[in-house]
Amino acid sequence: MPNDRQRDSMLRSAGASWRRRRRGLAPWLLVGLYVAIGLTPLLLAVFRGEPPVDPFRELSSGVVMIGFAMMLLQFLLSGRFRRITGRVGADITILFHQLIAWVILVFVVAHPFLLSAPGLWPNPGEAVATLRGMFGANVLLSGVIAWCLLILLVVMGHWRDRLPMRYEFWRLSHGLGAVVIALASLHHTLSVGGHSGDPWLGGFWIVLTAAAVVSLAHVYVVRPALQLRRPYRLVSNREIGDRIWEIQVEAERGRAIDFAAGQFIWLNLGHSPFSLMEHPFSLSSTPADRPRLAVTVRESGDFTNRIGEIPLGTRAYVDGPYGTFTLARRRGTGVAFFAGGVGLGPIIGLLRELAQERYEGPVYLLYGNRVETQILYRDELEAMRDTLDFRLHLILSEPSADWTGRVGELTPDVIDACLERRFPKDWLYFVCGPVPMMESVEETLLARGVPPRRIVSERFKYS
Ligand SMILES: Cc1cc2nc3c(=O)[nH]c(=O)nc-3n(C[C@H](O)[C@H](O)[C@H](O)COP(=O)(O)OP(=O)(O)OC[C@H]3O[C@@H](n4cnc5c(N)ncnc54)[C@H](O)[C@@H]3O)c2cc1C
């Protein structure tokens, strides 16, 4: 165990990377603002609206108002606004976006049923007739459109991978569908909503809807326009493993984006910045490598399968950086990395940064692959023993007969053996790879007493 002086030295030697600020609202402030904005229409209705008449009607308008406010907040929580969600991280933001979508759906779908509920007794046919009347009324058309489209949008989002459409078209339909729902809901609320006459409530809905639509326009119009002024060029494109490529782009002018090792960017190679042809990739280079940025890409679909064919010199655009898979504001007396396959991408960036900063604490890398040809940056990893107190464990699940290293996957017994059953609470534990591997590692670390805030994960797949 390190003594106090050594511990201080280790903390200091975490270097400039841990001092780096993380942009974004503090999580408690974000939650507070979310709850406050979500409840504002309800409070306005209570304090300024008419006295309650029918409990079902009040409940119906209460849940749909909260649902509508949450729906508009979804635009701002799309993961692209670092000043808002930068400290929470894109994966948590997107997970929240996906889960909350179901809550919104329940609130909105319940709205007409609650309105018709008083007719259920003694004659249920009356409730059915009320519902049919609502869905057929011209004056309610905008509400019916928003109601139906919302169901479609949430269902399509959930089963996106099974839809026979390209990811880019799904994204376009998701964005456009969301705008139509927001505008139709606004029209419905202002024209026939229970408290539509109140100017404060009306003003609230107009301002929040405008903020939502402007935020989307910012992502798809303003930001691409700004990217036009900061073009990059593809300067290196080489296969570094079995169907795995290292792509390097360089800023044509200036120093390239400012980032922390381990973050990710949205990379657009060879398309207009206004097109939707951009993909998220983790940076494997460090800030010291700027103006060059490097990403490590595994072939896994229509864009990545052809990435090796993109000619050098191709124009590129970069949006970012995003993500919290970094050493910024994190200190540890030791660091353990768990990588699976191309999950090494952001981790090699972090290792390079630790090596550049001459980090003095122990550093472990448990790196799992199927076969030997998939091991990336092997020579560089071996050489890190010269600059870091580095323990490298290469693990193969389907090794050839001459493999002398460890065999298996990152299972609890393998993790125990590699870390010599030591799981210090003041270390940092970084995990990136296929989802089942990540879940297994995270569960093992938690079971061994590692505090959750010491485990930092990056998921390449959100659903
Ligand atoms: C935060 C993050 C970091 C990532 N870092 C890396 C990395 O360093 N190296 C690497 O090889 N892969 C990384 N990925 C995964 C990579 O983005 C996808 O493999 C790639 O976009 C697939 O594109 P495709 O057109 O080849 O495949 P497709 O067949 O079109 O898509 C396969 C799956 O990839 C996802 N995907 C596709 N396009 C997008 C998109 N524009 N935005 C978000 N998801 C998309 C979808 O889940 C889709 O179902 C990362 C993903 C995320 C979310």
Read off the pLDDT of residues 168-191 as tens digits, 9 standing for 90 and up: 889 999 999 999 999 999 999 999
Q: Say if residue 412 is in the same domain as residue 284.
A: no
CB distance 296 to ligand 1 below 6 Å: yes
Strand partners, 455: 429
CATH number at residue 259: 2.40.30.10
Number of independent structural domains in the chain = 3
Centroid of ligand 1 to alpha carbon of 133 (angstroms) = 45
Tell me how far apart the alpha carbons of residues 226 and 217 are, in angstroms, rounded to a whole number. 13
What pLDDT does residue 422 have? 87
CB distance 209 to ligand 1 below 6 Å: no
Q: Say if residue 310 is in the same domain as residue 375.
A: no
- At 282, is the secondary structure helix, strand, or coil? strand
Residue 316 falls within a domain, yes or no?
yes
Among protein residues, the one whose CA lies closest to atom 2 of ligand 1: 460
Residue 14 falls within a domain, yes or no?
no
- Taking the chain, what is the end-to-end CA distance rounded to the nearest angstrom? 40
CB distance 295 to ligand 1 below 6 Å: yes
What pLDDT does residue 19 have? 64
Q: Say if residue 52 is in the same domain as residue 168.
A: yes
Residue 1 falls within a domain, yes or no?
no
Q: Say if residue 283 is in the same domain as residue 299.
A: yes
CB distance 304 to ligand 1 below 6 Å: yes
What pLDDT does residue 12 have? 47
Query: Which ligand 1 atom sits nearest the alpha carbon of residue 300?
Result: 26
Among protein residues, the one whose CA lies closest to atom 40 of ligand 1: 279
What pLDDT does residue 463 have? 57
Centroid of ligand 1 to alpha carbon of 49 (angstroms) = 48
Q: Say if residue 392 is in the same domain as residue 451.
A: yes
Centroid of ligand 1 to alpha carbon of 460 (angstroms) = 7
Which of 295, 322, 349 is at the close of a domain?
A: 322
Contacts 24+ apart (CB under 8 A), 212-215: 212/72, 212/73, 212/74, 212/75, 212/76, 212/182, 213/75, 213/179, 213/182, 213/183, 215/75, 215/76, 215/78, 215/81
What pLDDT does residue 1 have? 47
Q: Quick count: other Cβ atoms within 10 Å of Cβ 394?
A: 18
Sheet containing strand 389-396, edge to edge, reads 406-407, 389-396, 362-369, 335-340, 428-432, 455-458
Strand partners, 248: 236, 294
Residue 3 falls within a domain, yes or no?
no
Tell me how far apart the alpha carbons of residues 237 and 307 are, in angstroms, rounded to a whole number. 8
The range of the structural domain enclosing residue 387 comes to: 335-458
Q: Say if residue 128 is in the same domain as residue 199.
A: yes
For 189, the token pair is 């609320």
For 332, the token pair is 């540890």
What pLDDT does residue 251 have? 94
Centroid of ligand 1 to alpha carbon of 335 (angstroms) = 27
Tell me how far apart the alpha carbons of residues 220 and 275 are, in angstroms, rounded to a whole number. 8
What pLDDT does residue 193 have? 79
What pLDDT does residue 462 have? 65
What pLDDT does residue 93 have? 87
Q: Say if residue 195 is in the same domain as residue 278.
A: no
CB distance 298 to ligand 1 below 6 Å: yes
Among protein residues, the one whose CA lies closest to atom 51 of ligand 1: 460
Residue 12 falls within a domain, yes or no?
no
- Candidates 281, 295, 344: which one to mutate for ligand 1, based on the most atoms within 8 Å of Cβ? 281
Query: Which ligand 1 atom sits nearest the alpha carbon of residue 161?
Result: 49
Q: Do residues 390 and 365 make contact, with C-beta atoms less than 8 angstroms apart?
A: yes
Residue 141, CA distances (Å) to 25, 69, 194 in order: 39, 20, 16
Q: Say if residue 318 is in the same domain as residue 343.
A: no
Residue 67, CA distances (Å) to 12, 106, 108, 139, 399 in order: 48, 8, 6, 21, 53
What pLDDT does residue 84 have? 86
Among protein residues, the one whose CA lies closest to atom 17 of ligand 1: 280
CB distance 302 to ligand 1 below 6 Å: yes
What pLDDT does residue 34 have? 95
Strand partners, 391: 364
Block means of pLDDT (10 residues each) for the chain, 463 residues, are 49 58 84 94 82 81 94 87 82 89 96 86 81 89 96 94 87 94 96 80 94 92 92 96 95 88 95 92 94 95 92 95 89 94 97 92 96 95 94 95 92 94 92 95 96 93 67
CB distance 161 to ligand 1 below 6 Å: yes
CB distance 97 to ligand 1 below 6 Å: no
